[in-house]
Amino acid sequence: MRPLSVGSATLLVGATCLAVLATVAAQVPAQPAATAAPASVPTPAAIDALVAANMEEAGLMGLAGSVFVDGRDVWSKGYGHCDYLRTQPFTPTTPMSIASISKTFTGVAMMRLVAEGKLDLDADVNRYLPFRVRNPRFPDIPITLRMIATHTSSIADQWRIYRTSYHWGGDSPVSLSEFITSYFAPDGYGYSADNYTTVPPGRAREYSNIGAGLVGFVIERVTGERLDAYTTRHILTPLGMRSTGWFLRDLPTAELSTQFVEQEGWAIPVPRYGLTTYPDGGVRSTVSDLSRLFQALLNHGEHAGVRILPAAQADEMTRFQFSGPAFPEGYGPDEGNSGLFWRTRRNGALIGHGGSDPGVQTLMLSTVDRRVAVVLFSNTSGVLAGRAFDTIFLALKAYGDSQVR
C-alpha cells in the first residue's frame, strides 16, 4: 500500500507479525544479492533461467507475470509456491494482495462518477463531505479530488495514526467511515495538523495513501453504497474478474497466497491482514484478472468488448496532469509525471501503477505508447527480493519489446 520503491528496506511489520517471524521460516538459504541480468533480447528459456536464479538467490517464494503486446498475450507464467510448505504452485491465477494498485480501482470508480456528473475533479472536496477537510496551515485553499488523485493535496500519511489501519489476522473490524472521520474531522480522535504537510495544496507532490481512502469515502457518500460493492458491479463483474475482491472474506482462504517477508535470503511467512482504509490498498487479485483491468485502462476504458469507463474519462485518468508551470515542487519533468491514481516510472518511460506492502510486490506497467505491458506479482517483499523483482521485470519488458511487430 505504501509507495515503497523496488528494493526498499522498509518493512511494515506489527507486533503480532514479529512474533510469527521469530518462530517460522521457509528453508531458503541466505545468498548474496541476485546478480543475473536480463539478456538484451531474452527468450522464454532465458527468462526461466533468470527467474530461477534470482528467486533462489533472493529468497522469493512465488512469482507470476504476463506480458502483452498490442493487446496480445505473448507470455504468461508462474514460478515457485504460494504456501509455506511449498505444496501449492504460484500461478497467474493465484490471488494475493496487490497493495497500492488498488488505487486504480478507486480511480475508475471516481471517474465513472465524474462521467455521470456526480463528482467534479476541481471542486472543493468539502462539497461531498459531512466534515471540513482543509490544511489548517492554509485554511483558505480548497483541496480537490484532482489534487488528491495526483498526490498534490498536502494530505499526509501520519504514520502514528495510519499504521492502525492495518488489522493483523483478518479483515478490519473498523469501518472506513469511522477511520476517515477520525483522521480528517477537526474533532476526530486521530486529527492533527500533522495530518497535512507544511506546503500549500497543489504546490508539491507527496504520496498519500490516506488521501485515496478519503476518495473512497467520498464515493460511498455520493453513491450510497460501499466502494467494494460499487466496483464489483461496475468493474469486476463486467470484466469477468472472478478471483478478485477487496477483503479476505471475498475469496476462499485456500486459494489465497501466503505472503512472505525476505530477510537475507530467508522467506518468512507473515500473518494475513486487512486494511481499514481499503480503497488505498485492499484489493486481492490475480495476474490474469488484473491484466483485464490494465488493458481496459490502456485501451481507453474498454477491454474485450466491455467498457468500464467512457473514453473521455479513461483518457483523463491516464493523461499526464503536470506540464510547464503545473509541475509540482520537487517533481520535475525528468522525474516523470502523474495521471489520476496513475503514474509514470523510470523517469517517465513507463506508465501504470505499483504496489508494496508486507509480503507484496506488484507492478502493472506499460510503455508510454501502450504497446508493451507487463503485470508482475511476487508474494515476497524485502531488500534482496526487491532487487530480484526489478531484474525480472526488466527481462519481461525486454521480451515484450522484442515481440513488437
Long-range pairs for 319-325 at CB < 8 Å and ≥24 separation?
320/344, 321/146, 321/150, 322/150
Q: What angle do CA 216, 287, 91 make, to 5 degrees?
A: 140
Residue 20 has pLDDT above 70, yes or no: no
pLDDT per residue over 319-354, tens digit each? 999 886 667 876 766 677 899 999 988 888 899 999
With vertex at residue 17, the alpha carbon angle to CA 196 and CA 279, rounded to the nearest 5 degrees, is 40
Q: Which residue's C-alpha cell is 526488466?
A: 394
Task: Provide the pLDDT confidence category of residue 30 given band limits of 50, 70 and 90.
Answer: very low
Asked if pLDDT for residue 278 goes beyond 80, the answer is yes
Taking only the tens place, the pLDDT of each residue in 102-140 is 999 999 999 999 999 999 999 999 999 999 999 999 999
* Mean pLDDT, rounded, of the chain: 90
Domains of the chain: 15-402 (3.40.710.10)
DSSP 34: P
pLDDT tens digits for 194-240?
A: 999 999 999 999 999 999 999 999 999 999 999 999 999 999 999 99
Residue 38 has pLDDT above 80, yes or no: no
Position 40 scores a pLDDT of 66
Question: Is the pLDDT confidence value at 91 over 90?
Answer: yes
Retrieve residue 2's grid coordinates.
505504501
Q: Which residue has the higher pLDDT, 35 or 111?
A: 111
8 Å CB contact between 347 and 364: no
Q: What percent of the chain clears pLDDT 70, i.e. is strictly above it?
A: 88
Greater pLDDT, 344 or 29: 344
Does residue 94 contact residue 62 with C-beta atoms inside 8 Å? yes
CB 381 within 8 A of CB 361: yes
The position carrying cell 463483474 is 237
DSSP state string for 73-141: EEEEEEEEBSSTTS-SB--TT--EE-GGGHHHHHHHHHHHHHHTTS--TTSBGGGG-SS----TTSTTS
Which band of pLDDT confidence, cut at 50, 70 and 90, is reported for residue 3?
Answer: very low
CA-closest candidate to residue 301, choices 337, 348, 342: 342
Q: What's the gap between Cα 260 and its chain centre?
A: 17
> In this predicted structure, what is the pLDDT of residue 332?
67
Cβ count near 55 (within 10 Å): 24
Interval 142-197: pLDDT, tens: 999 999 999 999 999 999 999 999 999 999 999 999 999 999 999 999 999 999 99
Report residue 261 as a C-alpha cell: 517477508
Tens of pLDDT, residues 49-63: 999 999 999 999 999
Pick the closest to residue 71 from 241, 363, 303, 237 (CA basis): 303
